[in-house]
């Protein structure tokens, strides 16, 4: 997916793989919250809370991954 728009949208979308059920979960990302984010989110498929890491790179690319089930 290529976007020609130069201005960054405040909201981006990215996805992570659920560490428990393996499903790909799409999440919205608020760029204004920083280039490196960490939060706990319940998987909408298996309902397990996980620690999600989000990193926004300099070119605007957003990456997210699960760090496993949150305590
Ligand atoms: Zn899951």
**What separation, in Å, do the N-terminal and C-terminal C-alpha atoms of the chain show?**
35
Q: What three-state secondary structure class fits 61?
A: coil
CA dihedral 31, 50, 18, 43 (to 10 degrees): -90
Domain range for 51 is 35-71
Question: In this structure, is residue 20 part of a structural domain?
Answer: no
d(CA 69, ligand 1 centre) in Å: 10
Q: What is the pLDDT of residues 15-26, one digit of tens each?
A: 999 999 999 999
Question: In this structure, is residue 6 part of a structural domain?
Answer: no
Question: In this structure, is residue 27 part of a structural domain?
Answer: no
The model scores a pTM over 0.85: no
Count structural domains, the chain: 1
d(CA 62, ligand 1 centre) in Å: 20
Give 12-46 as a DSSP string. Answer: EEEEEE-TTT--EEEEEEEGGG-SEEEEEEE-TTT
pLDDT of residue 18: 97
């Amino acid at each position: 997916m290529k976007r020609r728009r130069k201005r960054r949208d405040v909201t981006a979308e990215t996805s992570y793989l659920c560490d428990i059920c393996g499903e790909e979960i799409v999440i919205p990302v608020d760029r204004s919250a920083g280039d490196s984010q960490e939060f706990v989110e319940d998987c909408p498929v298996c309902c397990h809370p996980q620690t999600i890491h989000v990193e926004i790179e300099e070119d605007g690319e957003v990456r997210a991954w699960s760090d496993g089930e949150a305590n």
